[in-house]
Amino acid sequence: MRIASTLSLALRRLRRRPIRSLLLLQGTVWGVAVAIFPAAVIQGTRITTVTQAEELGADRIAAVADPTSASEVKLAPADVDHLRAYLEGVGHTVTSAAAVQVDGPLPTAEGVTVLRSTPEGPLARGLELEAGRWFGTDENDACVVEAQVGTVLGRSLALGDTLAVAGTERRVVGIMKPRSQAQLRTNDLGFDLEHAMYKGVAQQFLMAMGIPYVKDDAWKRTDACVYVPVDADATVDWLYVRVDPSQLSAAGKSVREGLVSRGKTVLTLYPIVLPVILGDEVNRFDAVTIAMFLACLVMGAVVMANLGLLNALSRSREIAIRRVEGATRSDIALHFLMEGIVLSLIGCGLGCLLGMGLAELRVQVEPVTGFTWTFPTTHALIACGVAVVIGVLAALFPALRASSQDPVRGLAHD
Amino acid sequence: MTEPSPIRTREGARFGSVVREGLLYVVRHPLRSALTALTSAVAIAVTVNVISLSYGLDEDVRRDVARFGRLTIDVGRLPVIASGVERPHLGDDAVARVRDRTADLDAVVVPRRQVSGRATGAATLERIQVVGAPPTYLSTLGVEVVAGRWLETVDGDGRDAPGACALDAEAARQLFPDVALEDVIGRTIQLRVQDLDQTMTVVGVLEDPLTYRALFETFDEGRGARTLTSSLLSFRNVYVRETTIAGDEYTGISIALPDEARIETARDRLAQIWPNAMKDGQPVFLSGLGVFVRKDWMDALGASTATGAMLGNIIWIIIVLVAVIMISTLNLITIRERYDDLAVRRCEGATRHDVALQITVEGVVTSVLGGLAGLPLGYAGAAVLRDIVDFPFRFDPAYAGIATLIAAVLGLFSSVVPARRAARLQPATVLSRRLT
* pLDDT digit string, tens, across residues B366-409: 889 988 988 888 888 777 777 776 666 677 778 788 888 888 88
Task: Say if B74 falls within a structural domain.
Answer: no
The answer on A215 and A109 residing in a single domain is: yes
The answer on A176 and A70 residing in a single domain is: yes
pTM for this prediction? 0.83
**CA-CA distances (angstroms) from residue B359 to A309, B333, B363, B366, B421?**
20, 13, 6, 11, 10
| Shortest distance, CA A102 to any CA of chain B (angstroms) | 8
Chain A residues closer than 8 Å to B228 by CB: 66, 68-69, 265
The answer on A157 and A120 residing in a single domain is: yes
Question: Do the strands B124-132 and B80-81 form a parallel or antiparallel pair, or are they unpaired?
Answer: unpaired
> CB distance A298–B38 less than 8 Å?
yes
Q: Rounded CA gap, A348 and B303, in Å? A: 38
Over the range B297-307, which residues count as b (16 or more CB within 10 Å of their CB) and which as e?
bbeebbebbbe
Task: Say if A73 falls within a structural domain.
Answer: yes
The answer on A229 and A313 residing in a single domain is: no
* Element of type H or E holding B183: helix B181-184
How far is CA A70 from its chain centroid?
38
How confident is the model over B290-296, as a mean pLDDT? Answer: 89
The answer on A350 and A242 residing in a single domain is: no
Range list of H helices, B124-180: 169-175
Q: Rounded CA gap, A278 and A266, in Å? A: 25
How confident is the model over B84-94, as a mean pLDDT? Answer: 86
pLDDT reading at A122 higher than 50: yes
Task: Say if A275 falls within a structural domain.
Answer: no
Classify the C-alpha dihedral A188-A191-A194-A197 as positive or negative.
negative
> CB distance B225–A296 less than 8 Å?
no
For residues A343 and B262, which has the higher predicted lDDT (pLDDT)? B262
**Residue A280 dihedral angles phi and psi, to the nearest 5°:** -80, -20
How confident is the model over B14-20, as a mean pLDDT? Answer: 79
Q: Interior CA angle at A51 toward A49 and A52, to 5°?
A: 65
Q: Rounded CA gap, A366 and B312, in Å? A: 17
Q: What pLDDT score does B283 carry?
A: 62
Q: What pLDDT score does A44 carry?
A: 92
| Shortest distance, CA A155 to any CA of chain B (angstroms) | 30
Q: Rounded CA gap, B239 and B232, in Å? A: 11
B82 Cβ under 8 Å from any chain A Cβ: yes
The answer on A299 and A175 residing in a single domain is: no
Which ipTM value was assigned to this complex? 0.80
**Which of A239, A270, A301 delimits the end of a domain?**
A270
Q: Which amino acid is at A335?
A: H
A140 Cβ under 8 Å from any chain B Cβ: no
Question: Do the strands B278-279 and A238-243 form a parallel or antiparallel pair, or are they unpaired?
Answer: unpaired
Chain B residues closer than 8 Å to A215 by CB: 80-82, 283, 286
* pLDDT digit string, tens, across residues A394-404: 877 777 777 77
In chain A, the number of structural domains is 2
A102 Cβ under 8 Å from any chain B Cβ: yes
How confident is the model over B145-170, as a mean pLDDT? Answer: 91
**Which of B251, B272, B297 delimits the end of a domain?**
B251
The answer on A285 and A264 residing in a single domain is: no
Residue A187: helix, strand or coil by DSSP? Answer: coil
Task: Say if B413 falls within a structural domain.
Answer: yes
Task: Say if B282 falls within a structural domain.
Answer: no
Task: Say if B293 falls within a structural domain.
Answer: no
Q: Are B410 and B320 in contact (CB under 8 A)?
A: yes
The answer on A246 and A297 residing in a single domain is: no
The answer on A195 and A84 residing in a single domain is: yes
Largest Cα separation within chain A, whole Å, is 108
DSSP B282: E
Q: Are B398 and B366 in contact (CB under 8 A)?
A: no
Q: Rounded CA gap, A318 and A323, in Å? A: 9
The answer on B337 and B431 residing in a single domain is: yes
**Strand ranges for B247-387 from DSSP E:** 252-256, 278-279, 282-283, 289-293
The answer on B360 and B229 residing in a single domain is: no
Percent of chain A with pLDDT over 90: 42
Contacts for A312 with CB less than 8 Å, ≥ 6 apart: A319, A336, A398, A399, A401, A402, A405
In chain B, the number of structural domains is 2
**Which of A270, A300, A320 delimits the end of a domain?**
A270
Q: Are B51 and B402 in contact (CB under 8 A)?
A: yes
Position A54 confidence tier, pLDDT thresholds 50, 70, 90:
confident
The answer on A287 and A371 residing in a single domain is: yes
B420 Cβ under 8 Å from any chain A Cβ: no
Residue range of the domain that includes B53: 17-63+306-435
**Which of B251, B271, B296 delimits the end of a domain?**
B251
How confident is the model over A278-304, as a mean pLDDT? Answer: 79
Residue range of the domain that includes A352: 2-51+281-413
* pLDDT digit string, tens, across residues B50-75: 887 777 777 888 888 888 899 999 99
